[in-house]
Amino acid sequence: MNNTQTILAIDVGNTNLALGLFSGETLQKHWRLSTSHERMGDEFGIQFSQICEHENIPPASFNGIVVSSVVPPLTERVVYACQQYLGQDPLLVSSNLKLNVTIGYDDPTAVGADRIADAVAAKALFSIPACVIDFGTATTFNAINAESEYMGGAILAGIGLSAQALFQRTAKLTTVELKAPPSIIGRNTTHAIQSGLIYGYVALVEGMVARFKEELGQETKIIATGGHVNRISSLTTAIDRVEPWLTLEGLRIIWEMNR
């Protein structure tokens, strides 16, 4: 008898909506969609249904759905879509659920659901202490100490958001592709902007990692995830593991702990 559970994990971010289909502990399929803040519940439902139809996955095969969201206006729409189009009430991630970490934030309810999922995955899959860097719309540094406590961390504008602000607020600087230039010293404006954005962000990451290790310990495992992770991870030795779908893994683990 096959007792393998089939789980759909959905992470609603400010820029992207990530979905992952798990068979047991294995991430079988994953998708990353753009987040439209105007999209209604029925539109999400139709989109989810189309994915299931395209992949030949009957929604009735899901044993559970788990959702994390940092976009409150969209949360209830995604829940509605799961109920009406996939036929299930999803588990919503919050600090009130059973977790493998304790939340040491001053206000545990203020911790983003994605940050909770990242911390849970880091504890379950890697050694602690750990620091998870999530390169999304915002870049977050998330500290888990040796006592399995999610301590908090740091939040700053993501690299895409930083680039957008630079181009919008400077009259003579034009939009460039976010990639590393041939050398750190840019010999034209495009390469100079790319150097500042990419290598400036690398230096920021390395500096923050060094400071986090001063507080957590030098043995701290540095894990990187998020939509922009590949822009930075190959340019620094400060990151130990690159796990692009870490948040989805955390959602699966949270579902298993609370089913």
Read off the CATH number of the domain in which 106 is found: 3.30.420.40
| Residue pLDDT, tens place only, 104-133 | 999 999 999 999 999 999 999 998 999 999
76 lies in some domain: yes
| Residue 246 included in any domain | yes
Average pLDDT score over residue span 215-236: 94
Q: Is residue 118 classed exposed, middle or buried when 0-12, 13-18 and 19+ CB atoms within 10 A define those classes?
A: buried
Question: With 80 as the cut, is the pLDDT of residue 11 above it?
Answer: yes
Q: Domain count of the chain?
A: 2
Same domain (yes/no): 235, 158: yes
Q: Are residues 188 and 64 in the same domain?
A: no
97 within domain boundaries: no
- Please determine, for residue 1, whether its predicted confidence score (pLDDT) is greater than 70: no
Beta partners for 21? 8, 29
Across the range 195-224, mean pLDDT stands at: 96
Marked catalytic residue, from 11, 42, 89, 114:
114
Which residue, 92, 115, 142, sits at the end of a domain?
A: 92
pTM of the model: 0.91
Q: Given this model, what pLDDT does residue 63 score?
A: 94
| In a shared domain, residues 83 and 112 | no
Lowest mean pLDDT segment, chosen from 35-44, 142-151, 171-180, 229-238: 171-180
Same domain for 231 and 131: yes
Same domain, 116 and 12: no
Whole-number percent of the chain with pLDDT over 70: 98
Whole-number pLDDT of residue 174: 74
Kindly state whether residues 137 and 106 are assigned to the same domain: yes
**Cβ atoms 193, 201 nearer than 8 A:** no
Asked whether residue 107 falls in the same domain as residue 41, the answer is no
Q: Choose the final residue of a domain: 47, 69, 92.
A: 92
Q: Which residue has the higher pLDDT, 161 or 133?
A: 133
38-47, 90-99, 158-167, 228-237, range with the lowest pLDDT? 158-167
Burial per residue of 58-91, b for 16 or more beta-carbon CB atoms within 10 angstroms, e otherwise: ebeebebbbbbbbbeebbebbbebbeebbebebb
What pLDDT digit, counting tens, does each position of 185-209 carry? 999 989 998 999 999 999 999 999 9
Instruction: Indicate whether 130 belongs to any domain.
Output: yes
What mean pLDDT value characterizes the chain?
A: 93
How confident is the model at residue 259, as a pLDDT? 86
- Please report the pLDDT score of residue 2 as a whole number: 55
Torsion angle defined by CA atoms of residues 49, 52, 55 and 61, in that order, rounded to the nearest 10 degrees: -160
Grouping H, G, I as helix, E, B as strand and the rest as coil, residue 140 is strand
Residues 56, 85 within the same domain: yes
Q: What is the pLDDT at residue 172?
A: 67
Q: Are residues 141 and 245 in the same domain?
A: yes
Label the pairing between strands 241-242 and 221-225: parallel
Q: Assess if residue 257 is contained within a domain.
A: no
Structural domain of 60: 6-92
Q: Is residue 258, in this structure, part of any structural domain at all?
A: no
Residue 42 annotated among the catalytic residues of the structure: no
At 13-50, the pLDDT tens digits run 988 899 999 999 999 999 998 888 888 999 999 999 99
> Is it the case that residue 224 has pLDDT exceeding 50?
yes
Q: Which of 37, 61, 92 is the last residue of a domain?
A: 92
